[in-house]
Amino acid sequence: MTAGDKRKSSVEDTKAEKQESPFGIWLSRGLHQLFDDVANEPIPDELLRLIEEDRNK
């Protein structure tokens, strides 16, 4: 098995496990409900300013 095959196999394993059981589906939905808001919140101005100040150094 090549490294590429292994990678493909692992990616497919991950996908398969996500969908393998009702619990897996429920868990995925629950995690999205708990975490999606955090990812979608606006970035604090202070943090953006910090990055921009460093960019303009």
Positions that interact with another protein (CB under 8 A):
7, 10-11, 13-14, 17-18, 23-24, 26-28, 30-41, 43-44, 46-48, 50-52, 54-55
Number of other residues whose CB lies within 10 A of the CB of residue 24? 13
Rounded CA separation 22/38 (Å) = 25
Q: How far is the CB of 39 from another protein (least distance, A)?
A: 4
Q: How far is the CB of 9 from another protein (least distance, A)?
A: 10
Q: How far is the CB of 2 from another protein (least distance, A)?
A: 13
Rounded CA separation 55/49 (Å) = 10
Q: What tokens appear for 32 in the block?
A: 């999205």
